[in-house]
Amino acid sequence: MKQLQSLNKKIKTKKAKVAVIGLGYVGLPVACMLAETGFKVVGVDLKQDRVDLINQGISPIEGKEPGLSDLLNLVFHLGNFRATTDYSDLTDADIVLIDVETPIDDEHIPQYVALRSACQSLGKVMKDDVLLIVESTIAPGTMETLVRPLVEEFSGKKSGEDFFLGACPERVMPGKLLANLRNMSRVCGGDTPEIAETMKKFYRHIVQSDLDAADLITTEVTKTAENAFRDVNIAFANELALICQSVGADFLKVRELVNKSPGRNVLFAGAGVGGHCIPKDPWLLVYGAKGKADIRLIPAARGINESMPQQILIMLKGALNTYNKSLKDAKVGILGYAYLADSDDTRNSPSEKLLELLTDAQVDVVVQDPYVENFKQEILETINACDAIIVMVAHEEYSKIDLQQIKQRLNFPIIIDGRRVIDPKLANQAGLDYYGIGFGLSNLEG
Ligand code: SAJ
């Protein structure tokens, strides 16, 4: 196809003008990396304050992202990257990446407001022969049922003739955005094999790992399935932990022994599953097949993982009960508010869910988290005069807390270990009643 040949040439010489719609934790790093290789990149975002910061060479992304601020500063001074809120700046773009949010609502239905707006706004201004690549994670079938028709409607152009469609889902993790973009393999989903090959040529400029060609539906299923797979595996670990707890086994010991069996890899049970993708992507996968397949495992796994904060509450209630203390008269310290160990990211944090449950039960709660603003106060000071403490995140420093000191400050010697970071025997020696996810109490004897 002659248009693709000309695009391939522009990609090879880096003369292709690139636009990135959505300058969040995916769009901004990818825009900077493309600009660093020599492409001229325009970034579009709705938020004027975010655009203003970027146009001063300042990264608006919270949290520690090694190298991102320096890279943005570099490309800003190179003059290869600028941000705007105005879609008319995309008129001469040859390649457009869409990196907008694709959340789900309480009924687990994808909310594509941002994606629709991007497709409509781009459609109105785009020139002929644009390669449009959706990097956002989307439910299987979304390219076919939403992106293609919307762009055709608002541009008056025909996909496959006047513009070309692709999907290349991001595989980034907070705290490792640039490293992941460089080192994680990517699926280049093209509307045709030729388009997939053109996408591979384009991404080769920034991705050092495998670039695998596929069609659109395969690409949409792959991205959502990889996170659904993780969620189901975490749910298995959580259910196994509840079994261990109930029959007096120790999940960590069982896990260690099971994983000696070839091809087994039981993950870690815990106080819940948070983050920006694992709680959401399984529902995107399910939505794509809604009404077309008998889907039971993936929703059930979501239900198990979502219920883990409730399991923690049950453990707390039982522990307080041994001292005839009711929930509503208790003061409880939560250690950890981020969704992930040694991170400041609180998106969909299980601690948020636990806080809600405790508040509903009229429990007085204090929170400590060394990484999260407003919760950085000193541990011992925070938990002073609490009736119990709950470890909700495996932050490194929680595995080193002084258990004697904890015991002295608590009204009742109760520690609920939602991430198994405390040694039960040491807790016991310090005079604490130790409760842990997957820790059958009979393990304390002997
Ligand atoms: N979690 C468990 N048990 C486990 C692993 C995780 O309870 O064995 C919990 C964590 O505490 C956290 C949540 O699940 O609350 C998610 O943890 P995660 O390790 O999956 O980290 P995420 O959310 O940053 O997931 C990302 C994903 N990467 C991308 O989407 C590109 C995921 O696909 C990766 O597998 C994961 O990082 C990773 O492996 O680090």
Distance 279 CA to ligand 1 centre (A): 10
Asked whether residue 89 falls in the same domain as residue 199, the answer is yes
Asked whether residue 182 falls in the same domain as residue 320, the answer is no
How many structural domains compose the chain?
A: 2
Is 277 tagged catalytic?
A: yes
Asked whether residue 33 falls in the same domain as residue 175, the answer is yes
Can you tell me the distance from the alpha carbon of 370 to that of 281, in angstroms, rounded to the nearest whole number?
A: 29
Does residue 250 sit within a domain? no
Asked whether residue 40 falls in the same domain as residue 185, the answer is yes
Nearest-atom index, ligand 1, CA of 172:
31
Can you tell me the distance from the alpha carbon of 273 to that of 339, in angstroms, rounded to the nearest whole number?
A: 7
Q: How confident is the model at residue 175 (pLDDT cuts 50, 70, 90)?
A: confident
Predicted confidence (pLDDT) at residue 446 exceeds the cutoff of 60: no
Contact predicate 135/96, CB 8 Å: no
Residues in contact with ligand 1 by the CB-under-6-Å rule are: 171-173, 226-227, 230, 234, 237, 267-268, 270, 273-275, 277-278, 339-340
Lowest mean pLDDT among 66-80, 130-144, 153-167, 245-259: 66-80
Distance 116 CA to ligand 1 centre (A): 28
Q: How confident is the model at residue 53 (pLDDT cuts 50, 70, 90)?
A: very high
**Overall average pLDDT of the 251-279 stretch:** 97
Does residue 348 sit within a domain? yes
Distance 278 CA to ligand 1 centre (A): 7
Closest CA to 155 of 247, 87, 101: 87
Asked whether residue 206 falls in the same domain as residue 321, the answer is no
Burial 83-108 (b: 16+ CB within 10 A, else e): bbeebebbeebbbbbbbbbbebeeeb
Closest CA to 100 of 55, 34, 146: 146
Report pLDDT digits (tens) over 10-19: 999 999 999 9
State the DSSP string of 40-82: -EEEE-S-HHHHHHHTTT-----S--TTHHHHHHHHHHHT-EE
Does residue 29 sit within a domain? yes
Q: Which residues contact 202 (CB under 8 A, 6 or more apart)?
A: 11, 16, 95, 131
Provide the pLDDT for residue 443: 66
Query: What residue type is 164 in one-letter code?
Result: F
Mutational test site, ligand 1, from 135, 232, 340, max ligand atoms within 8 Å of CB:
340
Does residue 420 sit within a domain? yes
Can you tell me the distance from the alpha carbon of 67 to that of 58, in angstroms, rounded to the nearest whole number?
A: 12
Domain boundary among 174, 193, 213: 213
Asked whether residue 73 falls in the same domain as residue 182, the answer is yes
Nearest-atom index, ligand 1, CA of 281:
30
Report pLDDT digits (tens) over 184-221: 999 999 999 999 999 999 999 999 999 999 999 999 99
Distance 266 CA to ligand 1 centre (A): 14
Query: What residue type is 117 in one-letter code?
Result: S
CA atoms within 13 A on the CB side of 71: 20
Can you tell me the distance from the alpha carbon of 151 to that of 141, in angstroms, rounded to the nearest whole number?
A: 15
Closest CA to 205 of 188, 217, 230, 222: 188
Distance 228 CA to ligand 1 centre (A): 11
Rounded to 10 degrees, the C-alpha dihedral 107/110/112/113 comes to: 20
Residue 149: enclosing H or E segment and its boundaries?
A: helix 148-155
Asked whether residue 195 falls in the same domain as residue 318, the answer is no
Does residue 292 sit within a domain? no
Measured in whole angstroms, the distance separating CA 291 from the mean position of its chain's CA atoms is 27
Domain that holds residue 362: 307-444
Asked whether residue 317 falls in the same domain as residue 191, the answer is no
Angle between helices 216-247 and 251-258 (to 10 degrees): 130
Predicted confidence (pLDDT) at residue 389 exceeds the cutoff of 70: yes
Q: How confident is the model at residue 64 (pLDDT cuts 50, 70, 90)?
A: confident
Does residue 233 sit within a domain? no
Is 223 tagged catalytic?
A: yes
Lowest mean pLDDT among 66-80, 135-149, 182-196: 66-80
Active-site annotation holder among 119, 188, 277, 386: 277
Predicted confidence (pLDDT) at residue 54 exceeds the cutoff of 50: yes
Residue 62 sits in a domain whose CATH number is: 3.40.50.720
Active-site annotation holder among 17, 200, 223, 280: 223
Provide the pLDDT for residue 152: 98
Nearest-atom index, ligand 1, CA of 137:
30
Asked whether residue 194 falls in the same domain as residue 313, the answer is no
State the DSSP string of 85-115: S-GGGGTT-SEEEE-----B-TTS-B--HHH
Provide the pLDDT for residue 441: 74
Nearest-atom index, ligand 1, CA of 305:
7
Does residue 112 sit within a domain? yes
Can you tell me the distance from the alpha carbon of 82 to that of 76, in angstroms, rounded to the nearest whole number?
A: 7
Partners of residue 417 on adjacent β-strands = 391, 436
Residue given tokens 């087994």 in the structure block: 264
Does residue 228 sit within a domain? no
Domain boundary among 213, 230, 254: 213
Domain boundary among 213, 241, 261: 213
SS3 state at 160: coil
The token duo for 259 is 């994983």
Report pLDDT digits (tens) over 406-418: 999 999 999 999 9
What is the side-by-side strand order in the sheet with 414-417?
364-368, 331-335, 388-391, 414-417, 433-436
Contact predicate 387/414, CB 8 Å: yes
Provide the pLDDT for residue 444: 62
